[in-house]
Amino acid sequence: MLRKVIKSNEFVIFLILAFLSLMVGTINPAFFSISTVFDILRAAIVYFIMAFGLLPIMIAGGIDISFVAIAAVTSYATHMLLIKYGYQGGIVPYYLIACAMGLLAGLLNGFLVTRFNLPVFNVSLATFTMWYGFNLFFVGATSNFDLPKGTVGYYAKFLITSQDPLVGTTGLHVSILYVIVIGVFIWWLLKYTTIGRGVYAIGGNREVAIRSGFNVTMIMLVIFAIMGILSAIAGVTQAFLSRYFNPVIFIGQPLDVLAAVILGGASVTGGRGSVIGTALGVLLIQLINRTLILTGIPVEWQKLVLGIILILFTSIPALRERRVRRMGHTTELLQE
Amino acid sequence: MTTRPKTSLSKERLMSFFKAAYIDSQTLQLVGVFVVLVIFFAAIDKKFLSSQSITSMGFQLPELGVLSLAMMLTILTGGINLSVNATSNLDAVLAGFFMLKVVPPDATGVQMVFYIGVALLIALLVGLITGIVNGFLIGYIGVNPILATLATMTFFTGISTGLTGGATVTGFPESLAVIGHEKLLGIPIPFIIFVLLTILTHYLLYRTAFGFKLRMLGSNPVASEFSAIENKTVLMKTYVLSGILSAVTGILIMSRTMSAAIEYGTTTYVLLTILISVLANVVSGFGNVINVFISIIILQILSTGFHMILAGIRGSSFFKDFAWGVLLILIFIVNYFVYQRERS
């Protein structure tokens, strides 16, 4: 059991995380504070949610990038719609309307993929550019800062707060709860339902999955619907965390999320991937992004350091896998 | 001497001609879309077919065009190169620094040509080095191409950011503008470069041993490895070529804008080059350079055409993104039905 844990990809990512934290902490002891943890988690919240939505699709063997566009169009369109009718209430209608839109947008992807037998990536590329274009042309092209009265304090609604001598009061935002609920849901879905096992089966071998009686069309539609809904939740959450609605939110981020999921052990060709690995992958990318500033590296060179770290840390799992491959297929099977 | 029966003459000859000219059903479809779009836009706005608008398109599309060739080569091997745009910006920044730091302000005409030549060589050389980095990570270490090139994209952008501090580099010698602004025999020079590189890529893919190996590797890497093809070397060469083509784009952008910066293109260019490959039906192992060429022209026509028609409406320049997405979906659906009919 312990051997299995140590040999897993999740454990390697965890080691890299721990190593990186130690290094940053040695350079700048300010890193080891509860406020840093809260800050990284706050930045990671929406990426967790989007990555969890992407995970089942990756396991089923598809690569999707349209989830960011769905997040942008659902959150921004919901906001403009509610503002137009002078809405001043709470946050719940935002989530409800955006999720309904997200469901439809996800189903559109799913429909195109299953009905016309298309690669997920191609469809998502088309809907990516389509939704951003739709948002900017038909809904609006400028950021909107007018929040309804009922939602004004939401960005600072904390679960736990802590006093920090340097930065003052910091807290863990309530939306971390959504992440936990969604994470547990996806984990349960993948592990204990027929749909979840079907997702792995499709990723492993689509033809075999069909012949073993899995309803591939239905499974694909369900996971795309989930992706759409989770994207909508991520879009609305991010807008309220940053207190404005941006029509092109996340436009540069799809590949970051994709990288986090792949780094977390999901295979690009499908069949592999786990919720824990994905969460660790997201955390790793956010940790690198947010903590470089603490190391004292000049701002203009931080991106270079980020690049070097990414090159190193994507090479480590690849080198490990090469060793396994060189040992031969049979050895791998014997170890299982 | 036997005479060929008349009936088979037309269709068979046409098919063999198509095959010799590398025209497939996708090409015909794209040409159809092209014709429809041109007629549509010309009917709405007479200015669309004016020489001025055609020339401006000829200046605009080569940058994305050459970048798409760089992307297409890597997709053919079953990989992807997300660092194409970061590469072209890095090349432009380094060549720009050379021109700013080394070229004396009182250089004569001949000296100037020499210095600019060296600057362009530097750009191409940097493109080659970036290609080696990518090729090493993907071919020799075996990192997944998406992850590897995403990391190098950050890395290359990081070098440019560190050197420029995020600012735009300007103040290049005037003679550099020749490449991006002049015409030869009435044809914009960037467009000539693009056409030449397209032909070269086509020749490379279909008339050389390397091109054959590249496509074999893309269609089945295991089989190609067992057929005595050095997968590593082929991957390395492919990513080097991709880097050099990206460098050409860097030169074109630098010469058109007379500046170099990290933010030119950014993510949209990368995704657009992938979109063009998808539109041209380029998949690992199979792809047609002619289709890529027509796809680029179609995207440019949509962009220019809608810009003309919708001029004055708020956010008009964004409609093209929507139109690209819809067009892509429509082509997928048509492809599906064509494929169904061919099978039955």
Nearest to A127 among B143, B144, B325 (CB): B325
| A-B Cβ pairs (cutoff 8 Å, strict) | 155
Q: At CB < 8 A and 24+ separation, what contacts does B214-223 make?
A: B214/B73, B214/B76, B214/B77, B214/B238, B215/B76, B215/B285, B215/B286, B216/B285, B217/B77, B217/B78, B217/B285, B218/B76, B218/B77, B218/B78, B218/B284, B218/B285, B218/B286, B219/B284, B219/B285, B219/B286, B220/B285, B221/B78
Neighbouring C-beta atoms of residue B314, cutoff 10 Å: 11
What letters, b where the CB count within 10 A reaches 16 and e where it falls short, cover B260-281?
A: bbbebbeebbbbbbbbbbbbbb
Nearest to A125 among B144, B154, B275 (CB): B275
Which residues lie below 8 Å from residue B28, measured CB to CB, with a gap of 6+? none
Nearest to A122 among B148, B278, B321 (CB): B278
**Nearest residue to B273 (alpha-carbon basis) of B262, B265, B285:** B265
The bridge status of strand B183-184 relative to strand B169-170 is unpaired
- What pLDDT is stored for residue A330 in this prediction? 43
- What pLDDT is stored for residue A98 in this prediction? 95
**Nearest residue to A314 (alpha-carbon basis) of B288, B143, B15:** B143
Contact between A300 and B162 using a beta-carbon 8 Å cutoff: yes
Closest residue in chain A to residue B333, using alpha carbons only: A116
Confidence check: pLDDT of A332 > 50: no
Contact between B322 and A130 using a beta-carbon 8 Å cutoff: yes
Angstrom distance (rounded) from CA B86 to CA B265: 9
Chain A hits for B273, CB-CB cut-off 8 Å, are none
Rounded to 10°, the helix A275-291/A254-263 angle is 120
Contact of A198 with A214, CB cutoff 8 Å: yes
Angstrom distance (rounded) from CA A157 to CA A241: 10
Contact of A183 with A168, CB cutoff 8 Å: no
Determine the average pLDDT of the residues in A207-228.
Answer: 94
DSSP string across A184-249: HHHHHHHHHSHHHHHHHHHHH-HHHHHHTT--HHHHHHHHHHHHHHHHHHHHHHHHHHHTSB-TTT
Per 3-state DSSP, what percentage of chain B is helix, strand, and coil (rounded to 5)? 80, 5, 20
| % of chain A with per-residue pLDDT over 70 | 93
To the nearest whole Å, the CA of A130 is away from the closest chain B CA by 4
**Nearest residue to A212 (alpha-carbon basis) of A221, A220, A204, A223:** A204
The model's pTM is: 0.84
Residue of A70, A117, A125 best to disrupt the B interface, most CBs of B under 10 A: A125
Determine the average pLDDT of the residues in A50-66.
Answer: 93
Contact of A214 with A223, CB cutoff 8 Å: no
**Nearest residue to B264 (alpha-carbon basis) of B180, B204, B174, B151:** B180
Chain A hits for B274, CB-CB cut-off 8 Å, are 125
Contact between A122 and B332 using a beta-carbon 8 Å cutoff: yes
Rounded to 10°, the helix B319-343/B289-309 angle is 140
Which residues lie below 8 Å from residue A112, measured CB to CB, with a gap of 6+? A118, A123, A127, B329, B332
To the nearest whole Å, the CA of B306 is away from the closest chain A CA by 12
Contact of B229 with B212, CB cutoff 8 Å: no
The bridge status of strand B183-184 relative to strand B259-260 is unpaired
Nearest to A259 among B141, B147, B275 (CB): B147
Q: How far is CA A176 from the centre of its chain?
A: 13
Amino acid symbol at A211: R
Q: Which residue's structure tokens are 């890095």?
A: B90
Nearest to A136 among B159, B166, B318 (CB): B318
**Nearest residue to A267 (alpha-carbon basis) of A4, A9, A7:** A9
Contact between B155 and A308 using a beta-carbon 8 Å cutoff: yes
| % of chain A with per-residue pLDDT over 90 | 39
Q: How far is CA A198 from the centre of its chain?
A: 22
Does A322 reach chain B within 8 Å, measured CB to CB? yes
Mean pLDDT by 10 residues, chain B (344 residues): 54 73 80 89 82 84 92 90 90 87 75 86 92 92 84 89 83 78 82 93 91 88 83 91 93 86 76 87 85 91 84 77 86 84 78
Q: Quote the tokens at residue B337.
A: 């039905």
Angstrom distance (rounded) from CA A55 to CA A74: 20
To the nearest whole Å, the CA of B266 is away from the closest chain A CA by 8
Angstrom distance (rounded) from CA A277 to CA A274: 5
**Nearest residue to B82 (alpha-carbon basis) of A226, A224, A252:** A252
pLDDT digits (tens, 9 = 90+) for A167-189: 667 778 888 999 999 999 999 99
Neighbouring C-beta atoms of residue B344, cutoff 10 Å: 5
- Per the rule left: phi > 0, alpha: psi between -120 and 50, beta: everything else, A298 is beta
- What pLDDT is stored for residue B327 in this prediction? 86
- What pLDDT is stored for residue A335 in this prediction? 40
Contact between B155 and A311 using a beta-carbon 8 Å cutoff: yes
Element (H, E) at B188: strand B187-188
Confidence check: pLDDT of A220 > 60: yes
Angstrom distance (rounded) from CA B71 to CA B30: 19
Say which CATH topology domain B58-305 has: ABC transporter involved in vitamin B12 uptake, BtuC (1.10.3470)
Angstrom distance (rounded) from CA B124 to CA B66: 14
**Structural domain spans, chain A:** 36-258
pLDDT band at A327 (very low <50, low <70, confident <90, very high): low
Interface of A with B in 177-236 (CB under 8 A): none
**Nearest residue to B280 (alpha-carbon basis) of B33, B26, B34, B24:** B26
Element (H, E) at A173: strand A168-173
In B258-318, alpha helices (H): 266-279, 289-309
Does A314 reach chain B within 8 Å, measured CB to CB? yes
Interface of A with B in 121-150 (CB under 8 A): 121-123, 125-134, 136-138, 140-141
Q: Which residue's structure tokens are 């027509």?
A: B294
**Nearest residue to A321 (alpha-carbon basis) of A272, A254, A276:** A272
pLDDT digits (tens, 9 = 90+) for A119-145: 898 899 899 989 999 999 898 888 888
Chain B hits for A304, CB-CB cut-off 8 Å, are 155, 158-159, 161-162
Amino acid symbol at B201: T
